Amino acid sequence: MKPSQVNRSQSKQQKKWRDLVIGLNEKIPIADGRYMRGIYLDNAATTPPFKSVLKEIERFAPWYSSIGRGQGYKSVRSTEIIEQARSNLLNFVGGNEGSHTVIFTKNSTESINLLSHILNQVVDKRYILVSEMEHISNDLPWRNNYEVEYIAVHDDGQIKLEDLELKLSALQEQVALVSITGASNVTGCINPIYEVAELTHRYGAKIHVDAAQLIPHETIQMKRLNSAENIDYLSFTGHKLYAPFGTAVLIGETEVFNAAQPMLQGGGTAQIALRSSVQWNGAPERFEGGTPNVMGIVALNTAIRTLQQVNTEAIHEYEKQLMNYTLERLRIVEGLTLFSASNDNQPHVSVFSFTIDKLHHQDIAQVLANEFGISVRAGFFCAYSYVQKLLDLSDERIDELREDATLPSPGLVRISLSFYNTFAEINDLVEALQQIAHKAEYYTKKYENVPKGICGRPRSDG
């Protein structure tokens, strides 16, 4: 779809969407000393905040207080707001207040570590199944408590359901959990989470979905009409959902949560703690030790309320149009290779990666940022095994890179779009990449002193 084909009503709607987000018109410095309006295409790592979030934080600030332990008006009001947020979150993901509990954490990494801690106490089974495409935050937390088996993925990046069933069958009721991402943070591939849930439950295991990449783009329903498709545990974070201030959630079965001792023990986790005995609070309080991040919870709740007030189906459709337009335009860039679920017409969110012949991925990202004011991300994106598979890198090659930090590391450049991005921004991106590809030798020389090893790189989470 061409920009000229976007009708006036769509243009007006897109302007309203852009008006929801702060910082889109800020000018940033580039290498030649000029200032230009930045283009932000790194939404899979962190989204900019909603204006409504910052307004609500300012509105709530005079009433900010400790929760759960004070009798004063501010404390009672803060407590009520937190509990309202839990209810709204459950509604947002199609959960059930009678059987589900929302636990607030700092980020998705903490949520998954907490789930590993809980299940290790409650579920007496040996194995966790994760896919080859996972971010390491949905891999490393399981390794200390379980034996981890990896579900294979197809060459197009999507999970192999036949391999999942093969492993579930072979491990004979010893699988505690199947833990998969809802959508890849590298190719944008959407996993068939409800099919995975049905298959997982058929073999007596539970399912956890790391929804950090999926929930900004697609609707999730934990409770399904077909109960075999229910999602048992769900985690996601606010900073990828237009809500800064450091709050994420773990949502799961109240009965299971109440059967485990807290990971972080201290204030708020116990009803009474004597020298002779401790009586823990019920979930979620027993897992929210210390003073909670009330501001972060307010931010996340406000972001979700904002999304609930817009036409999410229209947003999803616009993102698909923008993604399709981007991928089509990029095909004119000489030497560019795409890594995208859309290559094989697979369901996908608006995330994809690429390489350009004769250019290092870090150089491409540096040039886009320094000389065109375009923010992207480069590297492995903490999905090391997945990128290794996509780039067909041998274990021996990875070992060489780890042992010699001076060797230039392979990797990808990632583009991640949001509903506030525009066709005009995509045109600017494509024009910039055409220039970069055309002057590959020049930019390689210009950025030859930028470190390009696999170790010591800037943070590449997301």
Q: What is the pLDDT of residues 26-40, one digit of tens each?
A: 999 999 999 999 999
pLDDT in tens, 384-402: 999 999 999 999 998 888 8
pLDDT of residue 456: 45
User: Does the pLDDT value for residue 11 go beyond 90?
Assistant: no
pLDDT of residue 3: 52
Write down the pTM of the prediction. Answer: 0.94
pLDDT of residue 55: 98
User: Residue 7's pLDDT band (boundaries 50, 70, 90)?
Assistant: low
User: Residue 66's pLDDT band (boundaries 50, 70, 90)?
Assistant: confident
User: Does the pLDDT value for residue 87 go beyond 80?
Assistant: yes
Mean pLDDT of 18-27: 95
User: Residue 452's pLDDT band (boundaries 50, 70, 90)?
Assistant: confident
Contacts of 386 (CB under 8 A, 6+ apart): 132, 133, 134, 153, 157, 184, 186
* Percentage of the chain exceeding pLDDT 90: 82
Contacts of 84 (CB under 8 A, 6+ apart): 301
> What tokens does 174 get?
């010893």
Q: Which of 242, 296, 241 is nearest to 60 (CA)?
A: 296
> What tokens does 42 get?
């790194």
Degrees to nearest 5, angle at CA 377 with 375 and 378 = 140
Whole-angstrom distance, CA of residue 83 vs CA of residue 86: 5
Q: Which of 383, 441, 412 is nearest to 183 (CA)?
A: 383
Q: Which of 79, 80, 83 is nearest to 101 (CA)?
A: 83
User: Does the pLDDT value for residue 455 go beyond 60?
Assistant: no
pLDDT in tens, 33-60: 999 999 999 999 999 999 999 999 999 9
